[in-house]
Structure 1
């Protein structure tokens, strides 16, 4: 990926996670502590380094709350912090970065740096307010230790997630970290009735989950989502309002693949989502592969396909981002 792509992808992913964390406590401005929480969730080397140090999302949230409480107490305020709730970012609006958090992200893309999560984490470790230093001390570590591990991690391929987008093949893959055990994530992905919790186009699955194991080739009827989380209506053509969901591959707790088709459309493409799971420090690492198979009844001229490649690339990347984000939010 180019430097611009690296920076844009990282900025989007961190912004989304940080603003989701801010939304849990009713805030609309994501600050440096929310950026730290987003980095703990990162699938890139920055997140892997933090989690290898024993820093989990739960412990990092607790350290942030303790630091905020200590700051309020130092000002003579003992009323406590607002209660933490669920993520409501996608149901609300008006979110933005604080000036100091935005400055950290901008510095991470300056000079010869690519704006990766490791670059952002490195800049965050030297943020002058002292808040991050105090939070890390509550986590029994310090900025210097984090920086040393970041530098060391850059030399190991195990710390380099695989991302790829192939617009010519209408496919792409992305890695994601989920803050839950493999067994918990598997139950979510394996259950047909829970697909609407993580697949953004599905509103509901007809019927209940079978009592026993499900088998390759089994199908379920689904209704396409016609309303966004914020309540705004989506314009969905009638022939795309029903989907068939089929299990096409399954290997206990390690791999699952679902196929999505539109039975009422003679020209609709076929979508396949393949997810591999493996244990990771503090949770589960996912490798998500998305592919659109062209319908034989749908003919597209090569020159039109070539012109559309930038849009296809963006669309595939956005769909992968929504899938990984949807799975992660279930466990946050």
Structure 2
């Protein structure tokens, strides 16, 4: 993976998670504490290091809130913070980074730095205000201890990182996401047909969702008519229905769903496969999405569009992983 792609993907994933955290508090500006919370649930080495020293999302949120209260108290201000609500980022707009958070992310991608989540975390613990260093102390650790753990996790992951296997005759892509919930809860969530519209962006609702979820079961899905922010979605008639099949369901670690357009016979069915593994603080979910390549001359004609296909695959995986994580936050 090129540095440009790594920086772009890291920035996108951290921005989404941080601004989702800000939205819980009714804020539109994400600051360094929201960036810290985003790193806690990050699937890269930075997130693993934070969780390996015993920091989870719940304790991190509490420590950040306690530190803000302590700062106000030191100024003689007694104030109670509004209770956090649900994530409303996707239903609202107008979000941005604070200048210090934006500058910090930019520093992590300078020419001699990797630009990944680990580089962001290194910048964060050394941030001049000292806010994150104090938050770490509240969490029973220190910047030095965290960086030592990050070095250990980072080197181990580089040595063991597997290559994404190519699937013959199919366009495919894979990613990993961390979900802050036990593996049993994540499996139940992914196996439940009524939850499909929450993570599959092309599905708005499912007919007869009360049908038992077993491998081989089939449902009819209807296209989403509105985005989460209320804006209308234009859908061609042949793409309004989806045939949704639960292809595999092996508790507690494997789920696979197939999505096809029954009214568009020339379209290819898409397969979404999930492999779950327990990890510190939650569950690591490997996600693979794929669909058949067009045969014959159509495949040759489609070669110039391969970069666009790869981008679509990445966006699809990013949206699915983000939605699953969000469901447990």
Offset at 1:253? 1.1
Offset at 1:12? 0.4
Segment drifting more, 174-183 vs 245-254: 245-254
Q: Equivalences for 1:48-63 in 2 at 5 Å? A: 48-63=48-63
Q: Distance in 1 between matches of 2:145 and 2:274?
A: 34
Is the aligned partner of 1:92 residue 2:92? yes
Asked if 2 retains the 8 angstrom alpha-carbon contact of 1:163 and 1:175, the reply is no
**TM-score, scaled to structure 1:** 0.94
Q: 1:162 to 1:117 in 2, by over 3 A?
A: farther
Q: 1:160 to 1:236 in 2, by over 3 A?
A: farther
Asked if 2 retains the 8 angstrom alpha-carbon contact of 1:165 and 1:316, the reply is no
Offset at 1:293? 2.1
**TM-score, scaled to structure 2:** 0.95
Please list the CA deviations of residues 20-43 of structure 1 after superposition, one character each: whole Å capped at 9, or x if unmatched.
000100111110000000000100
Asked if 1 retains the 8 angstrom alpha-carbon contact of 2:45 and 2:157, the reply is no
Q: Equivalences for 1:1-332 in 2 at 5 Å? A: 1-157=1-157, 164=164, 169-210=170-211, 214-294=213-293, 300=298, 302=300, 304-332=301-329
**Structure 1 residue matching 2:86: 3-state secondary structure:** coil
Q: Distance in 2 between matches of 1:22 and 1:159?
A: 35
Q: Where does structure 1 lack aligned partners over 5 or more consecutive residues?
A: none
Q: Distance in 1 between matches of 2:64 and 2:161?
A: 27
**Structure 2 residue matching 1:70: 3-state secondary structure:** helix
Q: Where does structure 2 lack aligned partners over 5 or more consecutive residues?
A: none
Q: Distance in 1 between matches of 2:139 and 2:42?
A: 18
Please list the CA deviations of residues 28-74 of structure 1 after superposition, one character each: whole Å capped at 9, or x if unmatched.
11100000000001000100010011100000000010011111222
**Structure 2 residue matching 1:291: 3-state secondary structure:** strand
Offset at 1:11? 0.6
How many residues of Structure 1 are paired with residues of Structure 2 in the alignment?
328
**Structure 1 residue matching 2:284: 3-state secondary structure:** strand
Offset at 1:163? 7.4
Asked if 2 retains the 8 angstrom alpha-carbon contact of 1:19 and 1:30, the reply is yes
